[in-house]
Structure 1
Amino acid sequence: MNHQTRRLRYFFSGQNFSDGVRVTVSILLPAVLLGQWGYFEAGLSIATGAVCVSVTDTPGPAAHRRNGMLAALVLVGLTALLTGAAALNVWTLALEIGALSFGLTMLLVWGARAGAVGTATLLSVVLLLAHPPALADAPAHAGLLLLGGIWYAGLALVAYQVRPYRPAQQALGECIHALARFLDLKAKFYNPATALEEDYRQLVAQQVVVNEKQEAVRDLIFRTRQIVNETTSTGRRLVLTFVETVDLYERITVGYYDYSAVRESFGHTGILDDVARLIRHVATELDHLGVAIQTNHAHPGTGPVLTAEWDRLQARISALDTDAETGSNTLVLKKILVNLRDIIRRVGNIRRYFDEALSAAAPAASRAADHTQFVARQEIELRALSQNFTMKSAVFRHAVRMTVACLVAYAVAETLWHGQHNYWILMTVTIMLKPGFSLTRQRNTERIIGTLAGGALGGLVLWAVPWPEARFAVLVVFMVVAYSFQRTVYLVTVVFLTAYLLIMFRFLGLSYLGVAQERITDTLMGCAIAFSAGYLLFPSWESEQLTDYMAAALRANLAYLRQLADRLAGRPLTSNDYRLLRKNVYVSGANLAAAFQRMLTEPKSKQHRPTESHEFVVLNHILSSNIAALTGTLREAAPAVPPFPPDSRRALTSAVAALSKSLARIAPAAAAPIEELAAPEPNISVEAADDKLLLEQLTFLQKVSGDIGKVTEVLAG
């Protein structure tokens, strides 16, 4: 199976495609059936309710999805009644739009799903502006919207009841797919022809994706009682396999070396090409396993082939020992070899997902009580809303920004532009305007390009396909594609959404050119308003928040480094405590990398020292990788306790001090006083002979921590 075939299988077996099909069915079926019976307007209202509720149906535990859809149903019904009353007068309608845009945006204080509920409700209000119902018809219209929402929610919940483990399998498969890509990028570091800076940029960007996928699986598995509490084989295998993928990610991450030196020492031997080739083959095998788990079809695996390739690589490295030039320097190659052997072994452990007998015989990895600490809790508390009524709150500033932008869009639609679908201006604003300027800018660009491309695509279909049945088939395909990519590639969604809307309006007897012109004009006006609001009204620049992410990463690495010191002193953590520290390091590092990437999309004048910031991101990644490498070595050496020589202790103390000073520079208010490292336990021999390799690794940690200190001096200056 080649790369393109795997990508197609990932797409068609993934959660996004399933959701795209469900949204398409929930929209088309009531509209088509009721249209055949002469009740097209009623069918359209039902389809509108389904579209609005589908916005809240983001991936996650079934209970959270259900609660989000129920909340959307209630708010959509109430706002439909309110809009029917407010539509009597243009001023009362403007007052409603202003109040709802502010109040519904403030729901973001309770998390992304609550924010999606607000977006869905605001979308329903905007869509009602196309044909506001009379006051007497408002209850009936609200009932149709509720019927559509119930119809969609019923489809979603029935699908979950029929296949309760399917979302977790899909999420886990996507997580492994992202991890395989991360491993594949590591192969580039052994290619002397690539630039290391660009390699690091791509690796850190993929680290963000891996973290997002891991968080999605963690949230889905550890919040679903049916998975963590039941003793079914499928539930156990999901938990065990996910834990194994996180451990594999750690093992891949710890494979850091001085790649410049490695390239210089061994580039001429050709051995690095063999190393890169083996890494790519392991990544391909891991990608096959992700597809297999997502499609729920066992993969035979190529374990023996990978082992044989590893043996050949070992033989080649051993042959270099006889070379006078490289014989004394092959230690780093042997370390790479050992790491690759462990990665191959862990990939084999993931393949055991399909061994039901093994998972049934294995002891329970954990229970819900053990896993609650790995997922963040989001309580719905009213005081959280009142606490955010301040200009210091990013959500409050965004709500004010949204209110002003929506009122301007409504005023423009009512006074300057009297198109048949001028509500598209307001809808564009509500969709385009995001809390951060970088995302607002990106969405606006994609919306404009996608609308133009979608208009051309829709026109091409209408010109080249004159048969109504064929046009309808194309419309269905375009709908599925549009809704399948709405959470991943927004540009694709806009292209196919615009195209299918033009085809749909042609079925309704409207002129293609007139609709296309209005669509493009409304989009340009809405994007201009959203962009201006994001840039001028209390803009949220990533550079202003980047230091917060840097401080979080430093705190996580400090805790991670202290656990290493405790382990060397004979005070190791429990497995769960260590995994929690490791999770915090990976999450904070990914958040930092994501914020840095967003900053690079902002205007140059708003970026704060991008070169030094990138250096900090890379050094943070190198630091956590080496701490993990040392920790892994010590964990494998347990229960024997390694010596803790005085020189090693001094290197650790210096590293901790350097990181603490860096944290004090970045976030003076949050910095804590430097704590002494734990003294060695009485049974630890501090007089033992110095372990040269251990000292070298700790000295390197000290150097990286010092480099971070130098960068923070510049950033804080």
Structure 2
Amino acid sequence: MHYALNLRTFFYSHYFYLGLRFAAGLVGVTLITLQFADMATAMTVCIGALCTALMDMPSPLRHKFNEMSASVLLCSAVTLLISLCAPVHWLLMSMLVAISFLACMMVVYGKKSMPLQLATLFIMTMSMEHDMTVRESFIHTGLFTLGAVAYLAYAMGISWILRHRIKQQVLAEALFELAAYIDIKADFYDTRYNLTEQFNKLVRHQSLLADRQQASRDLILRSHQNSKDAIVVQTHVCMLDLYELILSTHTDYAQLRVHLADSPVLKTLHDLAYKAARDIESVAYDVTRKKASYPEISYESELDAIEAELASLQRRVDEGKPAQEALAVLRAQRNKVRAIIKMIVELHRASQKVYDSTPFWVDADMGPFLSQQKYELRMILSHLRLDSPIFRFSLRVAMAISVGLAVAAWLPYAAHSYWIVLTIVIILKPSFSMTKQRRSDRIVGTIVGCVITALIIKYLNYPAAILGFLILSTVATPTFIYLRYRYAAIAVSIMILLQMHLIAPGNHDLIMERLIDTFIGAAVATAFSFVLASWEYQSLPRLIREVLGVNLRYMQASFDLLQGKGKDDFAYRIERKRLMDSLAALSSALVRMLDEPARKQRAVEDINLFIVQNYLLVAHVAALRSILRRHQKELPTAPVNAMLNESHEQVVRTLAQALAPQSASPASEPATAPAMAAVDTASVPWSGWPLVQRRIRLLQADAVKIIVHSEAIVRNVA
């Protein structure tokens, strides 16, 4: 279950804060307007505030101001344009289609532009029913803009006051997702769970974790000016270091299960991981409550049990029994678990201490770690081609809206075409899987919302009760819109239907008409989800090449770090972040493809394995780094670096082969695992040689598997 759906954490989450801020702003703007004007005027001002509120998301203050200002200007312009065109039917219809197309083209700017697209299409549909004179159109637009600017000022003021609080909440969300990631890892030690299914589950959660970590970076690393900010920066850095240690715990779980199948130590390892997840959750919970966090969980009994098992395995080895491999694997896991527990203690400490400054990157350029947003016209112009998925999506929406308007005009009853259009723009999304999910949530949410509204109107038709339900639904709508859209659909249906009931209380067919309009809009959106569709498999070759290219750069940075080249791990962190982002993008594409029709799915198993193998490379590098740190005092630098250097060259050659154009050919030679680097380890006694050599062998073998799977994917897609 999502952490914010737990009552213990819900009221501290930024989702609930967003709902309160949203509702207080809308209700406040409406009530103030009612002191000076009638209900119709207040509703116009309220809709202006609502369109701006759709852009009210956790963002750095400067970005938030730019995003919300863009919404004010764009939505005001659309309001005026549609209002002026409304008296001329053919001109209005043409303008609706044109604006729909242009609004959907804004998706080229990425995920952050989606709320702006929705706000634009929402006000377009809200304005299409008004038949006004030119003077009335300008007055209507002025009132709309007044509400939009009022909410902008209010939201910026609240966000400035709560700027540190929002950082804490977003950081806490990343920590909660990291704890959920460890819960999945814990089940690798439970023989009841299938390892392949667990790997797939882990990879799916990885993309969500990467998204939450990026949101944390964008807020925390952009501006850190005082001791409070230094605390969240240090906690964020500890979280990322802890994440790398967790990656390094990957081992041969199948072998571990075979060797230790009859031992209770597997359950002990599971319990340790479970406790670690709860420990991290306690840090996250304290961060949301603005408190310093202190360790409350003891790992001693589990660690003692592992030590006892290691002693037992050592006795078996001394007696000549075949337990050497199990001993080595368990000892390695013990060392990694101890490192993780130590880092969790550091995570607690990071939340306690008041820091004078931020980490080593005080004067470093944070740009590579942050999301870069560029709003340039040439980006839209470059996508004005039929092979662009965004251009096809824009055409799809424009055509669907045209059909929706035509259907509304032909219906025998007084259909509300704006509701049909609104349903279409809410359901129809750039990908088939998103459309499918949104359609289900919209229909179920509207039905439930209509039933609840009917009960309220029938049994609780009192001004105070209706106002209370209006406020509750206004809080719930933004709270759940990014959390559980189905709940948001229920809340928004209640909110809009109750508002319409207050404006026109005599309309007894209000709820039934909205239900019919919703089903019509959903049917049109479903039909057009297959028109000019861009299927996920079409983007796979590009995503595969991006992963391979980033992995090559990551390997260069990794081996430079392992060999001690450079003063810190800044470059390594950048490339690790880029690799995780590219893998998250590929994983998200795979998840979306699995929601598409079966005939449009390609190379599912190979993509799964390709993603897993790339994650394993990251895990092997993290493990190598942990081994070298643990043996730092007696480390024979020259021979170790020689082995690492040769291994690096072999891995790079392997990955480069996967990137080469000829690798897509079915006739290409099957890759074989490179030989271990020829370094004389016998002449340099060091206890870490077996561990380093084992990790390097695994690293090279998994690099070879990446070639096999990437070639299979390209062949399947072609």
Q: Same fold by TM (over 0.5)? A: yes
What residue in structure 1 maps to residue 659 of structure 2? 663
Q: Aligned partner of 1:656: which letter? A: V
Alignment of structure 1 residues 138-149 onto 2, 5 Å: 138-149=137-148
8 Å contact kept, 1:644–1:684: no
Task: Determine if the alignment matches structure 1 residue 597 to structure 2 residue 591.
Answer: yes
8 Å contact kept, 1:250–1:628: yes
1:9–1:130 Cα change, 3 Å: farther
Q: Aligned partner of 1:716: which letter? A: V
8 Å contact kept, 2:441–2:485: yes
Q: Which moved more, 1:624-633 or 1:282-291?
A: 624-633
1:280 Cα deviation (Å)?
A: 0.6
What residue in structure 1 maps to residue 210 of structure 2? 211
What residue in structure 1 maps to residue 703 of structure 2? 705
What residue in structure 2 maps to residue 15 of structure 1? 14
1:3–1:556 Cα change, 3 Å: closer
What residue in structure 2 maps to residue 330 of structure 1? 327
Structure 2 CA distance, aligned partners of 1:584 and 1:618?
16
8 Å contact kept, 2:544–2:586: yes
Q: Any idea what the Cα deviations from partners look like across 1:577-597, whole Å, max 9, x if unmatched?
A: 011111112111211111111
Structure 2 CA distance, aligned partners of 1:353 and 1:133?
60
What residue in structure 2 maps to residue 50 of structure 1? 49
What residue in structure 2 maps to residue 313 of structure 1? 306
Structure 1 CA distance, aligned partners of 2:141 and 2:644?
70
Task: Determine if the alignment matches structure 1 residue 356 to structure 2 residue 353.
Answer: yes
1:301 Cα deviation (Å)?
A: 2.4
Structure 2 CA distance, aligned partners of 1:646 and 1:69?
55
1:240 Cα deviation (Å)?
A: 1.4
Structure 2 CA distance, aligned partners of 1:425 and 1:657?
56
Q: Aligned partner of 2:351: which letter? A: F
8 Å contact kept, 1:665–1:713: no
1:475 Cα deviation (Å)?
A: 3.1
1:120 Cα deviation (Å)?
A: 1.4
Task: Determine if the alignment matches structure 1 residue 236 to structure 2 residue 234.
Answer: no
1:139 Cα deviation (Å)?
A: 1.3
What residue in structure 2 maps to residue 296 of structure 1? 290
1:245 Cα deviation (Å)?
A: 0.8
Describe the SS at the equivalent of 1:330.
Answer: helix
Task: Determine if the alignment matches structure 1 residue 518 to structure 2 residue 513.
Answer: yes
Q: Any idea what the Cα deviations from partners look like across 1:655-675, whole Å, max 9, x if unmatched?
A: 333322223369879xxxx9x
Q: Which moved more, 1:702-711 or 1:335-344?
A: 702-711
Q: Which moved more, 1:566-575 or 1:549-558?
A: 566-575
Structure 1 CA distance, aligned partners of 2:190 and 2:169?
33
1:644–1:198 Cα change, 3 Å: same
8 Å contact kept, 1:175–1:213: yes
Structure 2 CA distance, aligned partners of 1:473 and 1:78?
33
8 Å contact kept, 2:3–2:10: no
Alignment of structure 1 residues 97-246 onto 2, 5 Å: 97-223=96-222, 225=223, 227=224, 230=225, 232-246=226-240
What residue in structure 2 maps to residue 606 of structure 1? 600
Structure 2 CA distance, aligned partners of 1:99 and 1:507?
33
Q: Any idea what the Cα deviations from partners look like across 1:347-387, whole Å, max 9, x if unmatched?
A: 11121233234x23x66432364212212422233332322
Q: Which moved more, 1:17-26 or 1:648-657?
A: 648-657
Alignment of structure 1 residues 616-655 onto 2, 5 Å: 616-635=610-629, 637=631, 640=635, 641=637, 643-644=639-640, 652-655=648-651
Q: Which moved more, 1:163-172 or 1:557-566?
A: 557-566
Structure 1 CA distance, aligned partners of 2:650 and 2:511?
65
8 Å contact kept, 2:268–2:302: no
Task: Determine if the alignment matches structure 1 residue 345 to structure 2 residue 342.
Answer: yes
8 Å contact kept, 1:6–1:291: no
8 Å contact kept, 1:547–1:667: no
1:647–1:286 Cα change, 3 Å: closer
Q: Which moved more, 1:201-210 or 1:508-517?
A: 508-517
Describe the SS at the equivalent of 1:322.
Answer: helix
What residue in structure 1 maps to residue 26 of structure 2? 27
1:495–1:212 Cα change, 3 Å: same
Task: Determine if the alignment matches structure 1 residue 528 to structure 2 residue 523.
Answer: yes
What residue in structure 2 maps to residue 433 of structure 1? 428
Q: Aligned partner of 1:117: which letter? A: L
1:388 Cα deviation (Å)?
A: 2.3
Q: Which moved more, 1:404-413 or 1:113-122?
A: 113-122
Structure 2 CA distance, aligned partners of 1:11 and 1:693?
44
Describe the SS at the equivalent of 2:299.
Answer: helix
Structure 2 CA distance, aligned partners of 1:335 and 1:464?
66
What residue in structure 1 maps to residue 545 of structure 2? 551
8 Å contact kept, 2:87–2:132: no
What residue in structure 2 maps to residue 456 of structure 1? 451
1:474 Cα deviation (Å)?
A: 2.9
Structure 1 CA distance, aligned partners of 2:52 and 2:132?
20
Q: Aligned partner of 1:50: which letter? A: A
Percent identity (aligned): 27
Report the number of matched residues. Answer: 697
Describe the SS at the equivalent of 1:267.
Answer: coil
1:573–1:195 Cα change, 3 Å: farther
Q: Any idea what the Cα deviations from partners look like across 1:420-440, whole Å, max 9, x if unmatched?
A: 533111111122221112211
Q: Aligned partner of 2:699: which letter? A: L
Return 5+ residue gaps in structure 2 as ranges. Answer: 666-670
Task: Determine if the alignment matches structure 1 residue 695 to structure 2 residue 659.
Answer: no
Describe the SS at the equivalent of 1:366.
Answer: coil
Q: Any idea what the Cα deviations from partners look like across 1:610-661, whole Å, max 9, x if unmatched?
A: 1222222222222221122223333555585262487776655443333222
Describe the SS at the equivalent of 1:578.
Answer: helix
Task: Determine if the alignment matches structure 1 residue 278 to structure 2 residue 276.
Answer: no
Task: Determine if the alignment matches structure 1 residue 373 to structure 2 residue 368.
Answer: yes
Q: Any idea what the Cα deviations from partners look like across 1:673-709, whole Å, max 9, x if unmatched?
A: x9xx9xx9xx999975692322221111122122222
What residue in structure 1 maps to residue 668 of structure 2? none
What residue in structure 1 maps to residue 245 of structure 2? 251
Structure 2 CA distance, aligned partners of 1:666 and 1:77?
53
Q: Which residue, out of 567, 570, 578, partners 1:576?
A: 570
1:462 Cα deviation (Å)?
A: 4.1
Structure 2 CA distance, aligned partners of 1:605 and 1:710?
23
Structure 2 CA distance, aligned partners of 1:565 and 1:27?
54
**TM-score normalized with structure 1 length:** 0.90
1:122 Cα deviation (Å)?
A: 2.3
Describe the SS at the equivalent of 1:268.
Answer: coil
1:142–1:330 Cα change, 3 Å: same
8 Å contact kept, 2:557–2:571: no
Q: Aligned partner of 1:526: which letter? A: G
1:42–1:493 Cα change, 3 Å: same
Q: Any idea what the Cα deviations from partners look like across 1:497-542, whole Å, max 9, x if unmatched?
A: 2233334434445468622222222112212222222211x21111
What residue in structure 2 maps to residue 71 of structure 1? 70
Q: Any idea what the Cα deviations from partners look like across 1:207-242, whole Å, max 9, x if unmatched?
A: 11110101111111223x3x2xx2x11111111111
**TM-score normalized with structure 2 length:** 0.90
Q: Any idea what the Cα deviations from partners look like across 1:158-211, whole Å, max 9, x if unmatched?
A: 112222212111110101010111011111000001111221122111111110
Q: Any idea what the Cα deviations from partners look like across 1:256-288, whole Å, max 9, x if unmatched?
A: 111111111112111111111111111011011
